[in-house]
Amino acid sequence: MKIISFAQDGNFRSTIPNIKIDGSDIAQVCHANLLGVTISQDLTWNKHVDNIVKKAGKRLYMLYQLKRAGITQKDLVSVYVSVVRPVLKVCMSCMAH
């Protein structure tokens, strides 16, 4: 497991002491969601992309169901623009760099 440390002295630490709150240890995790962006311990985008694809797939299925129900193309485009596309654009500017 890689450890990310923002120590004040600038030295990288391969291990950090356990952090306790009210006598209970805080668990170390492999990935965390912070403001809609999934940050992995290895600093890759794989987990974030998987989450976005899963969320967009569910919304695209809803769009498919609306089409089967006979909704007009204009309304389908409106649903796509307001419901599906924002999910796909989350953190897009961060991932481009």
Tell me the per-residue pLDDT of 62-81, one tens digit each, with 9 for 90 and over. 999 999 999 999 999 999 99
Tell whether 41 is covered by a domain: yes
Domain that holds residue 71: 20-95
| Confidence (pTM) | 0.61
Split into its structural domains, the chain has a count of 1
State pLDDT tens for residues 7-39: 666 555 556 677 788 888 887 778 888 887 888
Residue 80: the pLDDT is: 93
Is residue 64 a part of any domain in this protein?
Answer: yes
Identify whether 56 is part of a domain: yes
In this structure, the strands spanning 20-21 and 24-25 are: antiparallel
Q: What does the pLDDT look like over 52-62, one tens digit per residue?
A: 889 999 999 99
Specify if 42 maps to a domain: yes
The two structure tokens encoding residue 21 = 């709150």
